[in-house]
Amino acid sequence: MALTTAQLQELAEAQSARAETRRPTVPALEKMLFEALPVLDHGFVRVIDYMGDDAAVVQAARVSYGRGTRAANEDRGLIRYLMRHWHSTPFEMCEVKFHVKLPIFVARQWIRHRTANVNEYSARYSIMDREFYIPAPEQLAAQSSSNRQGRGDILQGAEAEEVMALLRRDASQTYDHYAQMLNEGEDGQPADPSRQGLARELARMNLTLNTYTQWYWKTDLHNLLHFLRLRADPHAQYEIRVYAEAMMQVLEAWVPTVAEAFRDYRLGAATLSSQMLAVTRRLLAGEAVEQAGSGLSKREWRELMEMLGRPV
């Protein structure tokens, strides 16, 4: 699955190429173009192509609102207005294409975002590389006891060593057997001439879910922000969050004004239910409100106190 020599050459050419264009161009992103941002132990994210910039969002909004936006004479103000009021179509006017290398179990979570275009490396056609994700020791966490979808303490000592050894050994062994079943030599000829070799589309089933795959993933800016809102969130699984964080760097370079508004109105924002709003108003009026009688469940109460920066 590593890039072929031909592909690497193509990429080197792409990187050294310089063309003149009349399209909107973002120098800060041009600098990052094609460069792999490393993620996890063998993964990466790199931008392959993009369309549009901050100004393209503004331009699209102005086509919609026409003369109506004469007053909004400042682009930043307009972008912030659009973000605050959940206008989505102007953000759809920008597009970005990533090349991503990622473990299969991360890919399975990622693909649930359906509004993107994807071309994945095919293990039906081709042979997977011998690369798997093994967590760093500080990521080897126990199951959280309070949260069924979270992590607790970091495993220590013998248990940590044993887990690490099992992950390494099983991934190696299943890959070795995969290669053995395929029976393909370097030259494409059978490694062992007395055997036929199992079809690739079957042999792949012996690989573990931490095997790395890769894909091209293309999305518009609106859907990218939606992805980042869910996956750059502290509740997202660490192994996908680090990809989202790398993409946040791309976002900052590409559309800095949109990125700023996104931080203010999405990542750093909080939604209060009608009951939470009622409690907040009572608190502001000086009332002593307790969870009991607040109309909030214990969990919601805790969430609200956290948002408001108050002790639970």
Residues in the annotated binding site for dUMP: 109-112, 120-124, 204, 231
- Binding mask of the shown chain, residues 247 to 266, with x at each position contacting its own copies by CB under 8 A: ----------------xxx-
Nearest in space to 100 (alpha carbons), one of 36, 157, 151: 36
Subset of residues 111 to 150 that bind its own copies, contact rule: CB under 8 A = 111-112, 114-115, 117-127, 133, 135, 139-144, 148-150
Sheet holding 117-120, edge to edge: 37-39, 43-51, 95-103, 212-220, 117-120
Q: Does 220 contact its own copies by CB under 8 A?
A: yes
Q: Does 179 contact its own copies by CB under 8 A?
A: no
- Binding mask of the shown chain, residues 62 to 101, with x at each position contacting its own copies by CB under 8 A: xxxxxxxxxx-----x------x-x--xx-xx-x-x-x--
Q: Does 172 contact its own copies by CB under 8 A?
A: no
Q: 53: which DSSP letter?
A: -
182-187-193-199 Cα dihedral, nearest 10 degrees: 20
Catalytic residue, from 76, 80, 84, 231: name it: 231
CB count in 10 Å sphere of residue 55:
15
Question: Is 248:137 a contact under the CB 8 Å cutoff?
Answer: no
At 63, phi and psi to the nearest 5? -65, -40
Alpha carbon distance 41, 54 (integer Å): 33
Subset of residues 8 to 67 that bind its own copies, contact rule: CB under 8 A = 10, 14-15, 17-25, 30, 33-34, 49-52, 56, 59-67
Does residue 148 have an active-site annotation? no
Pick 1 or 245: Cβ nearer its own copies: 1
The residues assigned a catalytic role are 231
